[in-house]
A = this chain, B = another copy of it.
Amino acid sequence: MAKKPESPLACTGARARRLTRRLTSFYEAHLRDSGLRLTQYSLLMQLEATPRMLGELAAALEMDRTTLTRSLKPLRDQGWVIEAAGEDARFRGVVLTEEGRRARLAAQRQWRTAQFALEQELGRDYVARLNEQLEDALLRLKPLLPEEN
């Protein structure tokens, strides 16, 4: 039994990237009116749940710390988020403003529309399974620790 020749499509990472692109464009088509990107929406949701220090927030979202810093800028510019140093001046607290709360609420309605549309497209159960599969893969594939220097 010869090994199957490798096709460029055999790459799990490439596939995941492609699916993510498609999903992102799907969600963002619905979020367009809110002026929020999908990432930004996730950010606002996370802040609503628990205001946090920047680093904590990055860990919760599992985003690179520096990516988060930059992702917050447009939200700051819109007045949806405020950053303030805590007692320990090294920390920067990130807080949702009242306007931010409103923006999040509006965006959430559109997000729901998107999620509903996705379930229409793929089937409610299919989406539920997909969520579980993604979640399970996340549980199994541990993030790489940055090299401890």
Contacts and interface: CB of A to CB of B under 8 A. Distances in A.
Interface string A106-147: 001001101100100110001100110111011011111000
A21 interface: yes
Given A8-B46, A24-B17, A115-B10, A29 B130 contact: no
How many copies of this chain are found per oligomer?
2
A128 to B, nearest CB: 10
A94 interface: no
A12 B42 contact: no
A53 interface: no
Contact of A19 (B11, B14, B24, B134): B134
A108 B48 CA distance: 44
Contacts of A63: 21
A98 interface: no
A39 B17 contact: yes
A118 B60 CA distance: 24
7 contacts: A10-B131, A11-B111, A13-B26, A15-B135, A16-B20, A22-B138, A121-B142
Given A10-B131, A11-B27, A130-B133, 10 more contacts: A8-B49, A10-B115, A12-B127, A12-B130, A13-B26, A16-B20, A17-B23, A19-B20, A121-B140, A126-B140
